[in-house]
Structure 1
């Protein structure tokens, strides 16, 4: 069993990518990956640390090749190889061009590409709605089901999981790893490559904050299920300046590295519900992120194809301003945006509502180029990969696909941020103001966005009301002029 040598990419590090306990393995660390993009320093550290830890765990079972490129490394490995379907379109094309390498079906997700393809044509389906996909996955995987019915009699508790934040959730800090000699070695190498090898990184270095081994990932999962999952549901869309983690799992980096099988996380959460240790609304919300949204995004990345990344239905062409691209949080006075950029600069991480309704919302309002923005998210977030960010940013966040993924743009003014966070109280801008020196840049930006895309939004039943409201604004001209004058200056 498992006699063939399995090549593991750096995001395929779990045992579920192998066929047996004795299967020989090839691991490749190619410095060319770090030269192609200006990754966040902590992302580069996490990926290399996880790769080297896995090589150390496997010992003599693994051939670990450190080289300039993948091709150079593979030229030094004798014999045929198998590899699980890579997670990027570019990597698949590379593998398909290699002699002696057989590509297996994808692993690390809860549904296969064949199952997704069957779902897309089932029941006369006219739209690929995530909710429909999620319900199908619940039935197929028998997750949170009581016989043929959903646990609790409902499929979705999203309406109950949108509570504004309390003053303090009162939760312990999330699990954190302790660095070891491998982490120290990686840090020395990154310092040297940056100093002598011409590599450039974004963000700031800091002690590793995410799992780099399967044992660490399992410990982080246990910690989340015990301490944070019960509070996850109601406040998953809320933000607190003093608590960037809140009840979020912070497990996406480990899952996307392949250190955790997502079904392991799903079953752990469901077990907590069945044992009475976590409420159904919280567990359902977490499960929906994994077997619903995560798999849905993965499959749409392949279903939409390579041209999807160039979608730009709103004609957004603004280059990312230098202060945004370089994570210059100190240049920004708007408290929510400054805080969000500082989270990325200092940690390479922020939870999903910060990404969507602060960073993505600001970019959408200003018409930032969606492909350039997706690349920024890919580089700067420790859990960012091509398959993750292209659908999430181009489709969900920037509505650049014209509604193929999401039914409306996720644009909002300062009122939303004021309701779902504690940022506005300490900010020089007022969320209710559209004009004047204290006008909230999210509020003025929202109405300027509606005006700029009036025709398209008026034809969408979910956004038509905003267009009607915009047409009644007595100061719309002043609002739009204010936004035009702002240009690429930080708010």
Structure 2
């Protein structure tokens, strides 16, 4: 029998080869309620995962044994006893530890990624194993898989089109003029899942945060392929220029919204990047948009997966900046109405209502605020894991510990990713109606991001002065006539919502 975890739902997890199950191998799926009991997950995330698992079981029919149990161990014992079981390499350290502790379970290699872990380790060791850079890895993957290549050179003569992909949102437009993303239709399986979640909450067995429904993301392979096709055919062309921009009334803009089905295993990354490249070569999408999308999947997503395993289990405990403040209740509860800063309130409401925002609100609104406030990076990581529909341990540990919170001291990125209000004002329409002013550091109208930016650099000036990418901001600290007031103001702010 071959065991499928809830994020191993695509056909590539049961395709026959020397390391995988054969066409007639019986399959096992275990729905373990303890997973939802351990953490206070977003309700939409719980619904999506269970809906995807149950849809997959319905598709597989008699070939799958579907067990609802309290724990994985209990479900495995009920389904197979001590009979041998195979499973593909799970996506978290905890799950890998579990399956390796079971004597009758044989663990095969990971699927759903482009680079074998051994190949990445060899590449990383060849670069010293310390300060690794995504750009170097991305170029290596492009060459190795012949992605957007023209012989030995990158397509168009450039590896990186970031310079073309940093435009501010179009002025005067509340929404980007692009076709809407794919949205699935719920069915009786979704209704059943929602009734079960309601019952679990009524029984006091499990608690959730956030809103649920209607389902916004694919839960089946058919839906995932339809979402990919719609993005490639109707949205990819405008993705690149505005991928770093934000609009209050248009959280999706031209983003693919494919991270959730990718991370459920419903899509394979290679099919995504190959279809994007085909769109460029056939003249249906510009190279800057296609390269930006390929970079997200073959570059960043792959890089994060590999670093999660290469850095090891202890990486999650990194805290180079020694941030220890707890997450406030309003943040934990996704209480967007308690927040007066329009950018943070808007993004927090998006998380509450859908369990999703694109990468810039995550990094430069949510993550930046947590970094400026000095919140415990482990708690921030756990929050992102629980509250995002595409959040898994392997996704969030490097993304939050390494990039967002700079808790690894620069092993993953060259600088902390934080900004004042001027950046948010330039890259969004969020600041105009806000009660705070992006350029003001002190007083009643002081932007919490602008004040927080300078307070953060002031607290860590010794470390950041030694970094060539942040040294200039440290030098500017002593030119601020109101620095003492910024310090006093930020000390008195406490954890009241900004």
TM interval, short-chain normalised: over 0.9
CA contact 2:351–2:357 (8 Å) conserved in 1: yes
CA contact 2:131–2:410 (8 Å) conserved in 1: no
Q: 1:22 is matched with which residue?
A: 24
Q: Distance in 1 between matches of 2:353 and 2:176?
A: 23
Q: 1:12 is matched with which residue?
A: 8
Give runs of ≥4 in structure 1 deviating > 6 Å: 123-126
1:153 correspondence with 2:149:
no
Q: 1:450 is matched with which residue?
A: 457
Q: 1:330 is matched with which residue?
A: 337
Give 1:122 deviation, angstroms: 3.1
Give 1:115 deviation, angstroms: 1.3
Report SS of the residue matched to 2:476.
helix
Q: 2:20 is matched with which residue?
A: none
CA contact 2:131–2:412 (8 Å) conserved in 1: no
Please give the residue correspondences for 1:390-429 in structure 2 after superposition, counting only pairs within 5 Å: 390-429=397-436
Q: Structure 2 unaligned segments of length 5 or more: list them.
A: 17-22
Report SS of the residue matched to 1:102.
strand
* 20-29 or 101-110, which deviates more: 20-29
TM-score, reference length from structure 2: 0.97
* 168-177 or 473-482, which deviates more: 168-177
Q: Distance in 1 between matches of 2:180 and 2:126?
A: 44
Deviations 1:54-89 (A, max 9, x none): 000000110111111101110022321110100000
RMSD across aligned positions (CA): 1.0
> 1:125 and 1:55, CA in 2 relative to 1: closer, same or farther beyond 3 A?
closer
Q: Distance in 2 between matches of 1:144 and 1:159?
A: 18
Please give the residue correspondences for 1:3-402 in structure 2 after superposition, counting only pairs within 5 Å: 5-20=1-16, 21-78=23-80, 79-122=83-126, 127-166=131-170, 167=173, 168-402=175-409
Give 1:22 deviation, angstroms: 3.1
Q: Distance in 1 between matches of 2:286 and 2:439?
A: 36
CA contact 2:130–2:411 (8 Å) conserved in 1: no
Q: Distance in 1 between matches of 2:25 and 2:272?
A: 25
Q: Distance in 2 between matches of 1:58 and 1:98?
A: 26
Give 1:15 deviation, angstroms: 0.7
Q: Distance in 2 between matches of 1:302 and 1:448?
A: 34
Give 1:23 deviation, angstroms: 2.9
Report SS of the residue matched to 1:264.
helix
Q: Distance in 2 between matches of 1:411 and 1:481?
A: 21
Give 1:126 deviation, angstroms: 6.3
Give 1:125 deviation, angstroms: 7.2
* 38-47 or 195-204, which deviates more: 195-204
Q: Distance in 1 between matches of 2:130 and 2:329?
A: 42
Deviations 1:306-331 (A, max 9, x none): 11111111111110011111100000
Q: Distance in 1 between matches of 2:480 and 2:74?
A: 62
Give 1:121 deviation, angstroms: 2.8
TM-score, reference length from structure 1: 0.98
Q: 2:19 is matched with which residue?
A: none
